[in-house]
Amino acid sequence: MSKILVVDDDAQINLLLKEYLSRNGFEVDTASNGVEAKKLYSSNTYDVFITDIIMPEKDGFEVILELRHMGCAQKTIAISGGGRTSAEDYLVTAEHFDVAATFSKPLDLPALLLKVKELVGSN
């Protein structure tokens, strides 16, 4: 079974993605910030990473940079609902980190699922 790590400081988003992706055949771990995420991806293997951008303690850009250094940028999906600027501003920046895809909130779950399946299939 393919394993996914979802990183978002919004507990509802974590729960939504965990339930949705689990129902579609994936094993899903969640983290509420980049610090928790690093503990998980340092000791587990994941097929896909989904990370929010704006989070406390360690933001999504830091997570993406760490994953990029690990050679996992092409398995990473960035998501954002915005912050001080629009979600699109953050997601355009994330694209410069070579992420596989970006999605703004509210999430298009069927499109996200298709992208996850595509990334798992390319592993």
Residue 83 above 80 pLDDT? no
Kindly list the structural domains of the chain, giving each domain's residue range(s) and its CATH number in brackets, ordered by start.
Answer: 3-118 (3.40.50.2300)
**pLDDT tens per residue across span 3-45:** 999 999 999 999 999 999 999 999 999 999 999 999 999 999 9
pTM of the predicted model, to two decimals?
0.94
- Four-CA torsion 97, 99, 101, 106, nearest 10 degrees: -70
42, 35 Cβ separation under 8 angstroms: no
Residue with tokens 């079974």: 1
116, 21 Cβ separation under 8 angstroms: yes
Residue with tokens 């979802």: 6
Phi-psi region of 17 (alpha: psi -120 to 50; beta: other; left: phi over 0): alpha
